[in-house]
Amino acid sequence: MTVRVLVSNLIVHGHHGVADAEKTLGQKFEVDIDCHVRRPNPADDTMRSTVCYSELCDIAIELSNRVTFNLIETFAYRLIDEIFERFASVERVRVCLRKPSAPIRHSLDHVGVELERARDT
């Protein structure tokens, strides 16, 4: 059985982007994480049988604090890598990373990227 563990609209602060102001001042990012988790025994009612959504949030925040990325695509890719490293039961991950304060001249809600990877790719 596969279960989806979701994090929706986690707010993460980071210094990611190519503009000098982005690297200096930083900005908020919005992160969605969708993990497909293999659950061989769905009746197992313990945390060891699933993925802790609080830990998913911790991974995203720790990565954003530890590394500065030019591209949010790279941030999303590395976040998926770290989720796969931490949780062997995760078979597939989709990360949507939004940048609501992108330094562009257009009026919009946000810009962003979405990456989806299976464990084998």
Task: Give bridge partners of residue 118 from the DSSP assignment.
Answer: 92
- For 1-10, 19-28, 80-89, which range has the lowest pLDDT when averaged over its residues? 19-28
Pairwise CA distance, residues 28 & 102, whole Å: 10
Per residue in 73-113, pLDDT tens?
999 999 999 999 999 999 999 999 999 988 878 887 888 99
Question: Which residues form the domain of 99?
Answer: 2-118
In the block, tokens 């590394």 appear at 67
The model's pTM is 0.92
Quick check: helix, strand or coil at residue 67?
coil
CB atoms within 10 A of CB 56: 26
Task: Name which residue leads in pLDDT, 41 or 93.
Answer: 93
* pLDDT-based confidence at residue 1 (cuts at 50, 70, 90): confident
| Number of domains comprising the chain | 1
Domain CATH for 59: 3.30.1130.10
Report whether 30 contacts 83 (CB < 8 A).
no
